[in-house]
C-alpha cells in the first residue's frame, strides 16, 4: 500500500505492480511550480465528488515536507484545511514524519510548525542513529482497534536499537538540536540565496527549506524554469570529487538536498557550502 | 572465517536503490565515519551532507551512542517482544509518547519507515472497521509523495487454481507435485 501511495513512478513503481485499487494521489501545494493551497484542496474535493465519496476514505497520509518529491513544504493553511476535512469526514490523518522527525526541521516534529495535530505519525530514520528502529505513534483508540496479535515483527523494539534511540534522544535534548537545526538551515539558505543572485549562476530556480532540511532547485535558466537534471548530476559528481556527499530528489531529478548532521559546527557547515559553491561554479562552466 | 574482498567480489550484494552494474564497475566504498565525516578505504575524508540518509542527525560514531550500543549488546542482545518484553522497548516507547503531541498514547515499533507506513494504513482501516464503518477502506496520498516500498495487494477472490485444489482436497483427491 505504501508503494501504491508513493507519488513518484520512476524508479519506485516502474516494473512493479499491479498495485492495489482504492488508492488515490492528489496534488500537493507547490508554489514554485504553480499549485496553490486552494488548487490542491480543490483537487481533493473533486476526488471526493467524482471518484471516492469521503465516507469511504479510511486515511489520508502526507509528508509535512515531501522528501523524495523535492523538499516541498506543506503550507500551514493547507495542513489546517486538511485537518478540518479529516475531522468533518472522520478520516484518519496520518503524518509521515519519517524524514522530517527528530529535530531535522527545527522542531521535534515538522507538523508542530503548523500547529496541527495528526491522528497517527510514522517515524524512522533519525530515531536510533542508523540502527533499524522505526515507529508509529498515535491515538490509543486508533492503535488499539486492530485484532489482538494482528500486527508485529520479529525485530520490532529490539534492545540494541532501543538503547541507541535513548542515547540519540538524550543528545537531541541535551545539545538542543532543534535550535541547531534552525541555525544550520540559516547558514545554508543564506548562502544559497546569495549564489542564486549571482549573474553567472542563472541556474538556481528556487531555494527552500525548513530548519536543516534545505534544498536548491536547478533549472536551465531562471526565465524558462525548465528543470536541469544534467546540472544536478554534474553537481553531485563534482561535489563527491571535492569531498562532499549530497543527494538529489524531485520529480525531475533537479533538486539537491542538504541534510547535514545537526551536531555540525557553523565552521563545518560553511566549509560544506564553500565546497558546494566551488562545485557549482565548476559544474556550470562544464555545461556551457 | 573472514572473506578477503577483491573488487571483482562485489557481485554478490544486490544493492538497494542503486544502478548495480555501474556502481560495481567503479565502486565508492566507505570504511569508517566520525562526527560529520566519512572516510574511504584509501583514507579520503568526505563531508557527509546527507547525515547518512538522514539517520544520523546526532553525528557519526558519537561515543555516547556507541557506548549505549556496546553496553546493551553485552547485557541483553536480543529478546522478542511477542508475549514477552524487555524494559528498553517500554522505556523507548514512553520517551516517544512524552515528546509526541498530547493525546498520543501508544507506540508500535517496526524496522523501517516502509513498515511504519504500511502498519499505520492497516491501523486506519482496522479502526474504521472496529467502529462499524467497514466500507471505509480507501486511502489518499499526494502526487510527489513518498511512502516506502511495501506492496500489499487486496485479493478479493481466491485464485481459480487454488479454489480447484481446495475442492479436490475435499473430494479426497491428492494434489499433484509440487503441492503435495
- At residue B22, the pLDDT reads 87
How far is residue B34's CA from residue B19's CA, in Å, rounded to a whole number? 27
Taking the C-alpha atoms of residue A237 and residue A222, their distance in angstroms, rounded to an integer, is 23
Q: Per-residue pLDDT for B175 more than 50? A: no
pLDDT at B153: 53
ipTM comes to: 0.75
What phi and psi, each to the nearest 5 degrees, are found at residue B56?
Answer: -120, 55
Q: How many CB atoms lie within 10 A of CB A152?
A: 13
**Structure confidence at residue A22 (pLDDT):** 86
Distance separating alpha carbons of residues A62 and A122, to the nearest angstrom:
10
- The C-alpha angle with vertex A139 and arms to A134 and A141, in degrees rounded to 5, equals 120
**Does the pLDDT value for residue B179 go beyond 60?**
no
Each residue's pLDDT expressed in tens, for chain A with a length of 288 residues: 877 777 777 777 777 777 788 889 999 999 888 899 999 999 999 999 999 999 999 999 999 999 999 999 999 999 999 999 999 999 999 999 999 999 999 999 999 999 999 999 999 999 999 999 999 999 999 988 988 878 888 888 889 999 999 999 999 999 999 999 999 999 999 999 999 999 899 999 999 999 999 999 999 999 999 999 999 999 999 999 999 999 999 999 999 999 999 999 999 999 999 999 999 999 999 988
pTM reported for the whole predicted model = 0.83
Report the candidate in A93, A197, A112, A155 with the shortest Cα–Cα distance to residue B77: A155
Taking an 8 Å cut-off on Cβ atoms, the answer to whether B110 and A153 are in contact is yes
Which 98-117 residues of chain B touch chain A by CB within 8 A? Answer: 99-117
Closest CA to A187 of A163, A166, A164, A214: A214
Q: Which of A131, A134, A227 to mutate: most B Cβ within 10 Å?
A: A134
DSSP string of chain B, one letter each residue = -PPPP-GGGGGG---TTS-HHHHHHS---EEEEEBTEEEETT--EEEETTHHHHT-TT-BT-HHHHHHHHHHHHH------SS---HHHHHHHHHHHHHSPTT--EEEEESSHHHHHHHHHHHHHHHHHHTT-TT--EEEEETT----S------SS--HHHHHHHHHHHTTPPPPTTT-
Nearest to A2 among B76, B95, B117 (CB): B117
pLDDT digit string, tens, across residues B86-104? 999 999 999 999 999 999 9
Name the strands in the sheet holding A120-123, side by side, starting at the edge strand that comes first in the sequence.
A23-26, B138-142, A57-62, A92-96, A120-123, A134-138, B106-110
Q: Chain-wide mean pLDDT for chain B?
A: 82
pLDDT digits (tens, 9 = 90+) for A195-236: 999 989 999 999 999 999 999 999 999 999 999 999 999 999
CB A99 within 8 A of CB B51: no
**pLDDT higher at A107 or B165:** A107
- For β-strands B45-48 and A244-245, DSSP reports them as parallel
Q: Tell me, what's the pLDDT at B2?
A: 54
Interface of A with B in 110-139 (CB under 8 A): 111-112, 117-118, 120-126, 128-139
Contact A255, A71 (CB under 8 A): yes
Average pLDDT score over residue span B152-161: 44
Q: What's the pLDDT tens digit per position in B21-64?
A: 888 888 889 999 999 999 998 899 999 999 998 899 999 999 99
For residues A218 and B97, what is the distance between their CA atoms, to the nearest angstrom?
40
B78 touches chain A (CB under 8 A): yes
**What is the torsion angle, in degrees rounded to the nearest 10, for the CA atoms of residue B82, residue B85, residue B91 and residue B92?**
-30
- Tell me, letter by letter, the H, E, C secondary structure of chain A: CHHHHCCCCCCCCCCCCCCCCCEEEECCCEHHHCECHHHHHHHHHHHHHHCCCHHHEEEEEECCEECCCCCEECCHHHHHHHHHHHHHHCCEEEEECCCCCCCCCCCCCHHHHHCCCCCEEEECHHHHCCCCCEEEEECHHHHCCCCCCCCCCCCCCCHHHHHHHHHHHHHHHHCCHHHHHHHHHHHHHHHHHHHHCCCCCCCEEEEEEECCEEEEEEECCCCCCCECHHHHHHHHHHHHHCCEECEEECCCCCEEEECCCCCCCHHHHHHHHHHHHHHHHHHHHHHC
Which residues in chain A are contacts of B67 at CB distance < 8 A? Answer: 167
Place of cell 556550470: A284
Residue A18 preceded by cis peptide, ω within 30: yes
The more confident residue out of B1 and A192 is A192
> According to the model, what pLDDT value does residue A287 have?
87
C-alpha gyration radius of chain A: 20
Q: Which residues of B touch A94 (CB under 8 A)?
A: 117, 120-121, 124
Nearest-CA distance B13 → chain A (Å): 19
Residue with cell 530548519: A211
Residue B156, preceding peptide bond in cis (omega within 30° of 0): no
Confidence class for position B4, pLDDT limits 50, 70, 90: low
- Among B89, B108, B118, B126, the residue to mutate for chain A (most A Cβ within 10 A): B108
A142: nearest Cα among B66, B125, B23, B178: B125
10 Å Cβ neighbour count for A243? 16
Backbone phi, then psi, for A245, in 5-degree steps? -95, 125
Asked if the model's pLDDT at residue B154 lies above 70, the reply is: no
Q: How far, rounded to the nearest angstrom, does the alpha carbon of residue A9 sit from its chain's CA centroid? A: 17
Is A92 close to B56, i.e. CB distance below 8 A? Answer: no
Amino acid at each position: 500500500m505504501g508503494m501504491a501511495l508513493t507519488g513518484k513512478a520512476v524508479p519506485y513503481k516502474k516494473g512493479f505492480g499491479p498495485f492495489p485499487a482504492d488508492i488515490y494521489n492528489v496534488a500537493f501545494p507547490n508554489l514554485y511550480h504553480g499549485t496553490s493551497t486552494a488548487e490542491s484542496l480543490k483537487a481533493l474535493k473533486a476526488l471526493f465528488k467524482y471518484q471516492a465519496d469521503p465516507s469511504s476514505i479510511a486515511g489520508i497520509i502526507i509528508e509535512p515536507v515531501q522528501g523524495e518529491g523535492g523538499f516541498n513544504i506543506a503550507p500551514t493553511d493547507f495542513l489546517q484545511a486538511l485537518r478540518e476535512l479529516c475531522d468533518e469526514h472522520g478520516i484518519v490523518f496520518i503524518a509521515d514524519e519519517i524524514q522530517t522527525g527528530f529535530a531535522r526541521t527545527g522542531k521535534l516534529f515538522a507538523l508542530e510548525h503548523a500547529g496541527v495535530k495528526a491522528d497517527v505519525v510514522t517515524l524512522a530514520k533519525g530515531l536510533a542513529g542508523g540502527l533499524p528502529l522505526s515507529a508509529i505513534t498515535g491515538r490509543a483508540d486508533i492503535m488499539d482497534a486492530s485484532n489482538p496479535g494482528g500486527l508485529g515483527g520479529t525485530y520490532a523494539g529490539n534492545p540494541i536499537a532501543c538503547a541507541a534511540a535513548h542515547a540519540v534522544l538524550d543528545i537531541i535534548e541535551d545539545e538542543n538540536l532543534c535550535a541547531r537545526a534552525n541555525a544550520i538551515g540559516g547558514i545554508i539558505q543564506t548562502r544559497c540565496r546569495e549564489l542564486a543572485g549571482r549573474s553567472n549562476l542563472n541556474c538556481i530556480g528556487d531555494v527552500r527549506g525548513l530548519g536543516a532540511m534545505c534544498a536548491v532547485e536547478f533549472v536551465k535558466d531562471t526565465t524558462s524554469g525548465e528543470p536541469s537534471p544534467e546540472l544536478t548530476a554534474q553537481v553531485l559528481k563534482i561535489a563527491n570529487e571535492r569531498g562532499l556527499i549530497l543527494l538529489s530528489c524531485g520529480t525531475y531529478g533537479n533538486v539537491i538536498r542538504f541534510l547535514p548532521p545537526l551536531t555540525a559546527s557553523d565552521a563545518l557547515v560553511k566549509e560544506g557550502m564553500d565546497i558546494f559553491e566551488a562545485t557549482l561554479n565548476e559544474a556550470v562552466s562544464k555545461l556551457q | 572465517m573472514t572473506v578477503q574482498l577483491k573488487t571483482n567480489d562485489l557481485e554478490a550484494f544486490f544493492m538497494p536503490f542503486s544502478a548495480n552494474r555501474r556502481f560495481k564497475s567503479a565502486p565508492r566504498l566507505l570504511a569508517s565515519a566520525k562526527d560529520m565525516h566519512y572516510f574511504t578505504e584509501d583514507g579520503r575524508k568526505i563531508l557527509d551532507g546527507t547525515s547518512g540518509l538522514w539517520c544520523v542527525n546526532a553525528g557519526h560514531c558519537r561515543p555516547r551512542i556507541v557506548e549505549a550500543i556496546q553496553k546493551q549488546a553485552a547485557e541483553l542482545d536480543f529478546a522478542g517482544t511477542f508475549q514477552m518484553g524487555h524494559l528498553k522497548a517500554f522505556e523507548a516507547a514512553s520517551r516517544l509518547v512524552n515528546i509526541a503531541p498530547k493525546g498520543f498514547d501508544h507506540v508500535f515499533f517496526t524496522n523501517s519507515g516502509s513498515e511504519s507506513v504500511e502498519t499505520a494504513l492497516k491501523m486506519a482501516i482496522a479502526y474504521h472497521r472496529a467502529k462499524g464503518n467497514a466500507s471505509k477502506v480507501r486511502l489518499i496520498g499526494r502526487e510527489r509523495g513518498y511512502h516506502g516500498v511495501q506492496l500489499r495487494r487486496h485479493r478479493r477472490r481466491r485464485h481459480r487454481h487454488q479454489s480447484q485444489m481446495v475442492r479436490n482436497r475435499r473430494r479426497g483427491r491428492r494434489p499433484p507435485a509440487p503441492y503435495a
